[in-house]
């Protein structure tokens, strides 16, 4: 138990510090956006590029992690969408966002620093694989579902519907860092010492700053009505998703222990902030998405401790 607390306590303490500071007059409303831009466009891409470019990260990474992790994510997404159609009177766009919430983890701001802290640098290969395909699979799937629903209503062309997720992927700095870092590692050149030290310095800020800005972001979220939808997304994300991923890793694909643990723990990470970004962009289902992010993150302080205990 003490080992679990040693992992969980510092992570959520940083989140709590960010949340508390954002509630003071010293933190202006626009500060979270600028701080998040630093994390998303500078610190985390530098960390991922540096780890990948130095080589060796992908050694021993099981390719089937994509099928196991995203199979679980897509099944969770479909199950919640079917459930929501049977139970809730929602639009097609709202069904799509509920489904995204069930399968889209907060991989960058919470999953990356927490899993590296738990399993060490050996987990970086599986993590970067999941982060890359998170952008390539779940995000475009949701955007396409929303664009198809709106395209039918607004009579958009198939070209415009297809280009929306492609544009989002091309501009994603995390995906760019993963692709360029992996490509550089295959050249065999390595990194010059000054560049490597610069990357180490900047990368050191990535994890703490990501957790801090996650806390400041949570301070801006507000609980809204529609508790049934919020509870459905939270249960699907924190329970159904990790259970499905664990079953696929162990019973279907027979993955190694480290890969199974990393995939299961990433699935147990709460609803990702990207779901809020998509909801905000399309001005749909913002309230329940906001509530599910806030509630699932609070609950995950306990649920992740349970997951770590079971896995380790």
Q: Find the range with the poorest average confidence among 76-90, 93-107, 124-138.
A: 124-138
Task: Identify the top-confidence range among 48-57, 167-176, 261-270, 300-309.
Answer: 261-270
- Predicted confidence (pLDDT) at residue 194 exceeds the cutoff of 80: yes
**Domain map (residue ranges) of the chain:** 2-311
Contact between 95 and 81 (Cβ < 8 Å): yes
- Predicted confidence (pLDDT) at residue 245 exceeds the cutoff of 70: yes
Instruction: Please tell me the pTM assigned to this model.
Output: 0.79
Mean pLDDT of the chain: 85
Looking at the DSSP bridge assignments, the partners of residue 153 are none
Contact between 301 and 5 (Cβ < 8 Å): no
Task: Identify the top-confidence range among 43-57, 82-96, 131-145.
Answer: 82-96
- Predicted confidence (pLDDT) at residue 74 exceeds the cutoff of 80: yes
- State the fold for domain 2-311: Na+/H+ antiporter like fold (1.20.1530)
| Secondary structure of 15-50 in HEC code, one letter for each residue | HHHHHHHHCCCCCCCCHHHHHHHHHHHHHHHHHHHH
Q: Find the range with the poorest average confidence among 167-171, 194-198, 247-251.
A: 167-171
* Residue 250 confidence (pLDDT): 95
- Predicted confidence (pLDDT) at residue 255 exceeds the cutoff of 90: yes
* Residue 165 confidence (pLDDT): 60
Distance CA 87, CA 76 (A): 16
Angle, CA of 224, 227 and 232, to the nearest 5° = 125
- Predicted confidence (pLDDT) at residue 283 exceeds the cutoff of 70: yes
- Predicted confidence (pLDDT) at residue 57 exceeds the cutoff of 70: no
End-to-end Cα spacing for the chain: 11
Residue 34 CB contacts under 8 Å (≥ 6 apart), including other chains:
none
| CB burial string 277-301: b at 16+ within 10 A, e below | ebbeebebbbbbbbbbbbbbbeebe
């Amino acid at each position: 138990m003490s080992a679990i607390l040693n992992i969980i306590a510092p992570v959520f303490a940083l989140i709590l510090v960010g949340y508390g500071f954002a509630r003071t007059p010293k933190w202006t409303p626009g500060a979270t956006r600028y701080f998040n831009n630093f994390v998303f466009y500078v610190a985390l891409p530098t960390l991922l590029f540096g780890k990948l470019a130095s080589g060796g990260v992908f050694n021993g990474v099981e390719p089937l992690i994509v099928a196991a992790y995203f199979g679980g994510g897509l099944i969770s997404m479909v199950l919640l969408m079917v459930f929501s159609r049977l139970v809730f009177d929602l639009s097609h766009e709202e069904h799509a966002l509920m489904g995204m919430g069930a399968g889209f983890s907060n991989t960058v701001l919470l999953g990356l620093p927490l899993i590296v802290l738990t399993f060490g640098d050996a987990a970086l290969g599986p993590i970067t694989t999941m982060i890359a395909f998170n952008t390539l699979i779940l995000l475009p799937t949701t955007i396409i579902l929303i664009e198809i629903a709106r395209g039918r209503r607004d009579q958009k062309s198939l070209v415009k519907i297809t280009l929306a997720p492609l544009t989002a992927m091309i501009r994603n700095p995390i995906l760019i860092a993963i692709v360029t870092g992996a490509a550089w590692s295959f050249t065999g050149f390595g990194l010059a010492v000054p560049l490597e030290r610069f990357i180490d310095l900047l990368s050191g800020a990535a994890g703490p700053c990501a957790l801090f800005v996650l806390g400041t972001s949570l301070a801006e979220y507000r609980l809204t009505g529609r508790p049934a939808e919020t509870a459905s997304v939270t249960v699907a994300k924190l329970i159904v998703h990790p259970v499905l991923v664990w079953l696929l890793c162990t019973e279907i694909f027979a993955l190694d222990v480290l890969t199974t643990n990393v995939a299961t723990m990433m699935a147990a990470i709460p609803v990702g902030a990207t779901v809020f970004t998509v909801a905000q962009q399309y001005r749909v289902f913002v309230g329940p998405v906001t509530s599910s992010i806030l509630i699932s993150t609070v609950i995950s302080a306990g649920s992740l401790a349970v997951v770590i205990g079971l896995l380790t």
